[in-house]
Structure 1
Amino acid sequence: MQLLLRKYISQVITEAIQPTKEQITAALELLTKIVKSSDKYRSHVFLVGGAVRDQVMGKEPKDLDIVIDLPKGGIEFAEYLAKYLNIFKQGSNPVVFPNFGTAKIDLRGVVYNNIDLTGVDIEAVVTRTEIYEPGSRKPQVGFGTINQDVMRRDLTINSLVKDLTTGKILDLTGKGLKDIRSGIIRTTSTPEVILTEDPLRILRAIRFASKYKYKIDNVLESIIKKKANELTNISFERIRDEFEKMLVNKNAAYALELLFNNNLMQYIIPELSQKKKDTITIAEKQKGNFDFIEMLTLIMHNLDVNIIKSNLKKLKLSNEEIKRITALANAIQVLKANSAKNVALKVGAFLNKNNVLKHIEVLYVIDSSLRNIIKSLKDFGKQPTIFFDGNELMQLFNLRPGVEIGKLISLQRELWFNDPNITKDKVIKFIKSQQRANNR
Structure 2
Amino acid sequence: MPTPSPAPGPTPSPAVVRVADVPGRVAATLDAMGDVLDELGGLFAEAGEELALVGGPVRDAMLGRSHHDLDFTTSARPDVTERLLKKFAGGATWDMGRAFGTIGARRGDWVVEVTTYRSESYDPSSRKPEVDFGDSLEGDLGRRDFTVNAMAVRLPGREVEDPFGGVVDLVQQVLRTPGTPEDSFTDDPLRMMRAARFAAQLGFDVAPEVVTAMTAMAERISIVSAERVRDELVKLVCAPYPRRGLALLVDTGLADHVLPELPALALERDEHHRHKDVYEHTLTVLEQAIDLEHRLGDGPDFVARFAALMHDVGKPRTRRFLDDGTVTFHHHDVVGAKITRKRMKALRFSGDEIDAVAKLVELHLRFHGYGTGEWTDSAVRRYVRDAGDQLERLHVLTRADCTTRNRRKAERLRRTYDDLEARIERLSEAEELASLRPDLDGNQIMEILGIGPGREVGQAYQFLLDLRIEEGPKSADEARAALLAWWEQRAV
Question: Where does residue 83 of structure 2 map in the other structure?
Answer: 79
The offset of 1:337, in angstroms, is 4.0
Secondary structure of the corresponding residue to residue 112 of structure 2: strand
Indicate the residue corresponding to 1:372 in structure 2. 419
| 1:356 aligned to which of 377, 390, 398 | 390
Letter in 1 for 2:152: V
* Greater Cα shift, 229-238 or 206-215: 229-238
Partner amino acid for 2:303?
A: I
Which residue of the other structure, out of 30, 35, 52, is the alignment partner of 2:39? 30
Verify: 1:231 aligned to 2:221, yes or no: yes
Give the letter for the 1:207 counterpart.
R
Q: Take 1:82 and 1:372, find their aligned partners in 2: how far apart are those partners? A: 59
> Which of residues 251, 257, 282 in structure 2 aligns to 1:267?
257
Q: How does 1:59-70 map to 2 (within 5 A)?
A: 59-69=65-75
- Seen in structure 2, the aligned counterparts of structure 1 residues 402 and 142 have a Cα distance that, compared at 3 Å, is closer
TM score, norm. by length of structure 2: 0.69
For each residue in 1:105-139, what CA deviation from the matched residue of structure 2 results, as whole angstroms up to 9, or x when unmatched? x24xxxxxxxxx33533322232344655545533
Local SS of the residue matching 2:129: coil
Stretches of structure 1 that go unaligned for 5 or more consecutive residues are: 1-20, 108-116
CA drift at 1:277: 0.9
Following superposition, the deviation at residue 146 of structure 1 comes to: 1.6
Counterpart Cα distance in 1 of 2:73 and 2:250: 36
Give, in whole Å, the separation in 2 of the partners of 1:404 and 1:77. 63
User: Partners of 1:375 and 1:79 in 2: how far apart?
Assistant: 60
Say whether the 8 Å CA contact 2:122–2:188 is kept in structure 1.
no
* Partners of 2:216 and 2:446 in 1: CA distance: 69
How many correspondences in the alignment? 395
Shift of 1:181: 0.6
8 Å Cα contact 2:152/2:160 also seen in 1? yes
TM superposition shift of 1:96? 8.0
Kindly indicate whether the alpha-carbon contact (under 8 Å) linking 2:439 and 2:475 is maintained by their aligned counterparts in 1: no
Question: Structure 1 365/133 Cα, relative in aligned 2: closer, same or farther at 3 Å?
Answer: same
Correspondence list, 1:40-439, <5 A: 40-41=48-49, 44-69=50-75, 72-73=76-77, 75-83=79-87, 85=88, 87=90, 93=93, 95=95, 99-104=99-104, 106-107=105-106, 117-130=107-120, 133-136=123-126, 137-139=128-130, 141-173=132-164, 175-275=165-265, 276-285=279-288, 286-287=290-291, 289-302=299-312, 303=314, 304=335, 305-338=337-370, 340=375, 341-352=377-388, 355-357=389-391, 359-367=393-401, 369-377=416-424, 378-379=427-428, 380-387=433-440, 390-391=445-446, 394=449, 410-420=462-472, 422-423=474-475
Aligned counterparts of 2:487 and 2:71: Cα–Cα separation in 1: 75
Q: Distance in 1 between matches of 2:345 and 2:306?
A: 13
What letter matches 2:141 in structure 1?
V
Question: Normalising by the residue count of structure 1, what TM-score does the alignment of the two structures yield?
Answer: 0.76
Deviation at 1:370, TM superposition (A): 3.6
| Whole-Å separation in 1 of the counterparts to 2:142 and 2:63 | 21
- How far 1:214 sits from its partner (Å)? 0.4
SS at match of 1:61: coil
How far, CA to CA, are the matches of 1:358 and 1:201 in structure 2?
Answer: 35
Distance 1:265 1:134 in 2: 20
State the distance in 2 between where 1:266 and 1:371 align. 38
Structure scoring higher RCO (CA < 8 A, sep ≥ 6) equals 2
Structure 2 stretches lacking a partner, 5+ long: 1-29, 266-278, 294-298, 315-334, 402-413
Distance 1:64 1:346 in 2: 49
Following superposition, the deviation at residue 434 of structure 1 comes to 9.1
Instruction: Give, as a single letter, the amino acid of the residue that structure 2 aligns with 1:310.
Output: K
- What secondary structure, in the 3-state scheme, does the structure 2 residue paired with 1:163 have? strand
- Partner Cα distance (2:419, 2:41) in 1: 56
Seen in structure 2, the aligned counterparts of structure 1 residues 312 and 371 have a Cα distance that, compared at 3 Å, is farther
Residue range with higher mean Cα deviation, 73-82 or 425-434: 425-434
Corresponding residue number in structure 1 for 2:410: none
Q: Distance in 2 between matches of 1:121 and 1:433?
A: 64
1: CA distance, partners of 2:131 / 2:170: 31
Q: 1 CA distance for matches of 2:101 and 2:340?
A: 41
Tell me how far apart the structure 1 counterparts of residues 390 and 166 of structure 2 sit (CA, whole Å): 43
Partners of 1:406 and 1:81 in 2: how far apart?
57
CA RMSD of aligned residues (A): 3.7
User: Post-superposition shift, 1:424?
Assistant: 5.8
Whole-angstrom distance in 1 between the partners of 2:484 and 2:89 = 79
Cα distance, 1:141 vs structure 2:
0.8
1:171 positional shift: 0.6
Cα distance in 2 between the residues matched to 1:34 and 1:390: 70
Between the aligned partners of 1:96 and 1:409, the Cα distance in structure 2 is 48
Q: Tell me what 2:26 maps to.
A: none
Residue 439 of structure 2 contacts residue 473 of structure 2 at CA under 8 Å; is this kept in 1? Answer: no
Match for 1:362: what amino acid?
A: V
| Aligned 8 A contact 1:49 1:161 in 2 | yes
Q: Say which is worse superposed, 299-308 or 236-245, in terms of deviation.
A: 299-308
What code does the residue aligned with 1:343 have?
A
Contact kept in structure 1, 2:32 and 2:66, CA below 8 Å: no
2:9 counterpart residue number: none
Rate the CA distance shift 1:361–1:158 in 2: closer, same or farther, 3 A. Answer: farther
Q: Which amino acid aligns with 1:375?
A: A
Deviation of the 1:338 alpha carbon: 4.8
CA-CA distance at 1:26 after TM superposition: 3.5
Structure 1 residue 249: Cα displacement: 1.8
Q: Partners in 1 of 2:89 and 2:397 — Cα distance?
A: 53
Could you report, residue by residue, the CA deviation over 1:54-81 in whole angstroms, capped at 9, with x for unpaired residues?
A: 1111111242222224xx4554244235
1:391 Cα deviation (Å)?
A: 4.8
CA distance in 2, matches of 1:103, 1:392: 61
